[in-house]
Structure 1
Amino acid sequence: MTEPRTSVAAAAASRGARLTAEGFGSFLIVFLGVGASLFTATLFADPGAGSAVNLTVALAFGIALLAAFSSFAGISGGHFSPAVTIGAAAAGRLAWRDALPYVLAQVVGAVIASTALIVVGLFGPERWLERVQDAGFASTGWGTLSPGGFGMPAVIVIEIILTALLVLVFLSVTHPERRTAAGGVAIGLTFAAIQFVAIPVAGGAANPARAIATAIYGGIGPLAQLWVFLVFPGVAAAAIGIAYRALFDGTVEPDGGESDDDSGGWSSLTQP
């Protein structure tokens, strides 16, 4: 059985450094993205300004992911979402033994970020924090928690498709041999585009750590619906990771024939 393929830079970093990088990156994304959602929604209270809020929040998430990837991808691989970590492990880019620590680091970073936003809210205008928590604290959800009033089946479809697209782009632009120079830009823009679609339907998508971080402060409703934003992104990520490895990581034999060798031509890059 072959070892997972990973970048040389990520392989050189210690596990502690990689987990710290994932935590910081997750903090950055949640603090800026969810912060934009909470504060921008308060500033643009006019119902007709909803599109401006969605634009601002989607771009904040995308730019934050671009910044996190540019800063920490060379250390940890730049996942910052449990869905991406599961997809990377399923594609053979990360050892499964490292997947759970990565996910825990991401969730911890995200929860610290949402807690920091709570602290900011404590010193905000009168009853501001109470109002945003009563409104769900920018949590993901369906029914009454969906900005557009969409039901659970719509949210499930959104989570599956958008998570698969994000993981597909990530695996493509970070491929050890076929990587894209502007990979961080591609991933960030993809994440922003995902939020354009997801915000009206579910409030966001493709990042279970972000869903956890807001649900714990959003009340019973978001917590009760949280399972959808954990299960379906994980399933979609695992499926697209396996599919990517099968479809794109085959090797070419010297005689021109194709091989299904698991190593995918990457035996020189191993996980520490």
Structure 2
Amino acid sequence: MTLTKRLAAEFLGTLWLVLGGCGSAVLAANFGGDGNPLGIGLLGVSLAFGLTVLTGAFAFGHISGGHFNPAVSLGLWAGGRFPASDLLPYILVQVAGAIVAGFLLLQIAKGGGGFAIDPSAPGAFASNGYGVRSPGGYTLAAAFITEVLLTAFFLVVIMGATHGRAPAGFAPIAIGLALTLIHLISIPVTNTSVNPARSTGVALFAGAGAMGQLWLFWVAPLVGGALGGITYAWLRPANE
């Protein structure tokens, strides 16, 4: 597969992830107001992120590998599964796809009555944050540990599920369920990133507060991705 087609698949897959996951948070999480049974809440948003990765991996995984996340690309490189020459192009198109998704989501949201972004609110426009911008008021240290730890385990699941000895054809299901679980754990802490592109795509439209904290949602997932990739590479049998 040519690099151009692989990059196009990564662009579309990341766009789909951000549009589906962040779109569920912005448009449907609290639809109708607090307590309205039509709102999907934390569980629904967690499932939406998992489903976007699951469906995106089935759609694009055979073309580009279905990373949709700079931390995943870095982790796969650290684990010996991805060439260094493709790392920067993948990250650039992933970020571009996320930004386009954020822009499109904003246009959709503005079409509804009464929509407005409060830049000071925790999770504004599905953005990530710590301290006063954490949904649960969690500290910078707690947010950093959460993002590193969960991204590392995400890479371990990805590399294990796509291993040659893993059951064939089930990798997207395992990866999607892993991302669902990650969101169930960490939405209260950081509004869940584990993906620098996803964080960037909405932070650009969420105001100065989100942009001021965006650095953490690059540093922590990248550190976690690298640790996860290195850990799985160490775990695998020496003769592989």
TM-score range, shorter chain: over 0.9
Q: Which amino acid aligns with 1:121?
A: A
Deviations along 1:157-214, one digit per CA (max 9) or x if unpaired, are 1101100111000011112x22332110000000000000111111012111100011
CA distance in 2, matches of 1:132, 1:138: 11
* Residue 216 in structure 1 maps to residue 165 in structure 2: no
Picking from 155, 159, 165, the partner of 1:178 is 165
Give SS of 1:43's match: coil
CA distance in 2, matches of 1:232, 1:194: 15
Q: 1:131 to 1:234 in 2, by over 3 A?
A: closer
Note if contact 1:194-1:205 (Cα within 8 Å) is conserved in structure 2. no
Aligned to 1:255: none
Note if contact 2:26-2:109 (Cα within 8 Å) is conserved in structure 1. no
Deviations along 1:74-114, one digit per CA (max 9) or x if unpaired, are 01111111111001001111111101111111111111111
Aligned to 1:166: 154
5+ residue gaps, structure 1, are 1-12, 252-263, 265-272
Q: 1:206 to 1:212 in 2, by over 3 A?
A: same
CA distance in 1, matches of 2:161, 2:32: 36
CA distance in 1, matches of 2:223, 2:237: 21
Q: Which amino acid aligns with 2:68?
A: F
CA distance in 2, matches of 1:125, 1:44: 11
Aligned to 1:123: 111
CA distance in 1, matches of 2:137, 2:101: 27
Q: Which amino acid aligns with 2:47?
A: L
* Residue 82 in structure 1 maps to residue 70 in structure 2: yes
CA distance in 1, matches of 2:35, 2:138: 18
CA distance in 2, matches of 1:120, 1:133: 18
Picking from 21, 24, 27, the partner of 2:9 is 21
Aligned to 2:33: 45
CA RMSD of aligned residues (A): 1.7
Aligned to 1:32: 20
Give SS of 1:124's match: coil
Aligned to 2:129: 141
Q: Which amino acid aligns with 2:165?
A: R
Note if contact 2:30-2:41 (Cα within 8 Å) is conserved in structure 1. no
Alpha-carbon distance, 1:134 to partner:
5.8
> Which of these two proteins has the greater Rg computed from alpha carbons?
1
Aligned to 1:114: 102
* Residue 71 in structure 1 maps to residue 59 in structure 2: yes
Aligned to 2:185: 197
Alpha-carbon distance, 1:246 to partner:
2.1
* Count of aligned positions: 236
Alpha-carbon distance, 1:122 to partner:
2.7
Give SS of 2:144's match: helix
CA distance in 2, matches of 1:227, 1:249: 36
Give SS of 1:137's match: helix
Aligned to 2:86: 98
Q: Which amino acid aligns with 2:132?
A: T
Note if contact 1:83-1:237 (Cα within 8 Å) is conserved in structure 2. yes
CA distance in 2, matches of 1:54, 1:205: 14
- Seq. identity, %: 38
Note if contact 1:211-1:226 (Cα within 8 Å) is conserved in structure 2. yes
Aligned to 1:156: 144
Q: 1:180 to 1:131 in 2, by over 3 A?
A: same
CA distance in 2, matches of 1:180, 1:20: 28
Alpha-carbon distance, 1:133 to partner:
5.4
